[in-house]
Structure formats: C-alpha cells, structure tokens
Amino acid sequence: MPRYGPPDAFETPRFSGPRTFMRLPHVRDLEGVDVAIVGIPTDGAVVYRTGARFGPEAIRSASVMLRNYNPLLGVDVVDKLSLVDYGDVPTVPGSTEDSLARSAAALAEVAGAGVTTLCLGGDHTVLLAELRALAAVHGPLALVQLDSHHDLWDEYFGQRLFHGSVVRRALEEGLIDAGRSVQAGLRGSLTEAGDARLPADFGIDALTYEELAALGPAAFSQRVRDRVGTAPCFLSFDVDFVDPAFAPGTGTPEVGGPSSREALTYVRSLAGLDFRGFDCVEVSPPYDPAGVTAFVAANACFEMLSLLALRR
C-alpha cells in the first residue's frame, strides 16, 4: 500500500517543483491516504472584498516552508499520516449554488473513502460543501469555529447563500450539532443588538474575542472539550479570526483580534478532539502583497494536521 509524504528539504530546495501543499505529491488515488489537502477556489459569496479564489494557491505557495515535525506538540505529521495534495475540486464562477453542489459531490468521494479532508478556501461558503460531504458519512458534526463573525445571518440582498449565512444554512440542513458546537473570536460592530444573540438563539456556545482572551488557551480548550465531548467534529479556521495587523489579506477584516502566535496557540489547544475534517478559509492574496496572511494560514493548517497526527 502506498504511503505519501513530502520530499526531503535537504535534498531538493523548497522553491523547486510544483506548488502543492507542503510539496506533497498530487494524488487522486486515495488508497493508502490518511489526509487529503483539497483546494476549493471560489469567492462568489463574499460581501466586501473578493480575491479568496486565489487563497488555495497562496496557501500552497507559503506551505513550502513547513517541515515534518511539530516541536510544540511533539509529533511528526509525516511519520503518523499519509498525506497528499488532492488538488482542487470543481467550482462555478458566478453561481454559488452550483459551485457548492459540485464541490460537495467531489468531496463526497474523498470522505466516502475514509480520508480526512483539510480544505483550503475560498470564501467561507465552502464550509457548506464540506459539511454536506462529511455529514453524509459521519452524521451531524460538532463545529469548532475560530472566526471574527458567527456567519448566522439569514439573507444578503434577498439571497440566502453568502459567506455570512453559511453556518445558518448548515444548521438548517442538519449538518451541525449545535448543542456541541463552539464559536470563538467574535468581534466588530453589528447592525443591531439582536445580531449578537444569534449564536445563543441557535444553541451554539459563542465567545467574543474579549471573552476568549480572558479565558486563555487552557480554559478555552477545557470549555470546548466539555461542549464537544467525544462527538465527531469539524474545525473551521477563518483567517479573519487573526487581527489584520498579522493577517491583512482577507475579505472582511476585523481589528482587535489575536496575533498569529496567539491564534496558532488556540488551534494547538484543541489536541485530543475527534476531528473528521478541517478548513482554512478567506485568504485573499490581492490584499497582502507580502504574503503574510498565507503564511499564517499555512501554519494554521500544519497545526490542524498535527492535531490529527496526535490521535494516530
């Protein structure tokens, strides 16, 4: 049975070869694969700044700096996991509904093969495609969402599929177990006071960033564990969770959030949970010529892989 991993960085320089995640082989045959990194390049559902369709490409380019071993979690992800870059799933410019349907169908093949997905967005609506594919295999998932927005609004401009409504749509489709879900990092101005109550209205435990910062990683970790328990879960990392001073390349930035170091610490604190899928979304390279945001995103993805490796 094949086993996949990156080339040796001491044998081939990082700037060589095709731009896959961590320079992993681009493989579609899923035999012997534990984790597939999958791009979902779409941004037709953003309400402010576009560009996230180029997010997967940017994250892959930044990820060439990643190596095998995570010294803070003490795990070698390549030793524990057979990893491939599956490439991108189909998307449809100009039609969010068709894009989600095609992406979900492609992801269903990966999930059905028993492979864990780590998806690179794309705007946050890609979460709906992911959850449709994964819930068909695992049932409703506990959602752990690190984000500055709860994405529970109903409609934008009379339309129901936008990145700010994706979690609401997933709840309506029965893809998320609200009673086991946690959102953290919420901040920024709102249209009305009722917007802040939406997570509670839907039964989700939500923390503003001020509450999260007061808790710290250890207490946050315990709060999530108490909520999620042993349920299968999904981790969604919206890069606007990070303060735009550290991750400016995103569509709807909100100031007053964590540094990149702090953000990665919150991801790392989730070790031990039963994750069946991950994503990192809303990286918009046109707004960050230096590529800082993509480096943050790539490292967040590495921490996610490390969480999975620890359970193996």
Percent of the chain clearing pLDDT 90 (strictly above): 86
Q: What is the pLDDT of residues 163-184, one digit of tens each?
A: 889 999 999 999 999 999 999 9
User: What's the pLDDT at 6?
Assistant: 85
Domain of residue 110 covers 21-311
CB 184, CB 145: distance < 8 Å: yes
CA 266 from centroid of its chain's CA atoms = 14
Taking residues 222-251, report their average pLDDT.
Answer: 98
Sign of CA dihedral 191, 241, 46, 36: negative
222 assigned to some structural domain: yes
Please report whether residue 3 resides in a domain: no
Is 182 domain-assigned? yes
Task: Say if residue 45's pLDDT is above 90.
Answer: no
Name the one residue in this structure whose structure tokens are 């709102």.
190
Helix 126-138 to helix 96-112 angle, to the nearest 10 degrees?
A: 30
Residue 44 predicted with pLDDT over 90: no
Structural domain includes residue 162: yes
Residue 1 within a domain: no
Mean pLDDT over 187-201 rounds to 93
CA pair distance 189, 305, nearest whole angstrom: 33
Check residue 174 and give its pLDDT.
98
- Report which residue type is found at 169: R
Q: Is residue 9 part of a domain?
A: no
What's the pLDDT at 1?
A: 60
Whole-number pLDDT of residue 76: 97
Over residues 132-159, the mean pLDDT reads 94
Tell me the pTM: 0.95
Q: The domain spanning residue 129 has which CATH number? A: 3.40.800.10
Q: Specify if 7 maps to a domain.
A: no
Residue 263: band (very low, low, confident or very high) from pLDDT cuts 50, 70, 90 = very high
pLDDT at residue 226 is higher than 90: yes
Q: Residue 203: pLDDT above 80? A: yes
Q: State residue 82 phi and psi, 5-degree precision.
A: -90, 115
How many domains would you assign to the chain? 1
Q: Is residue 282 part of a domain?
A: yes
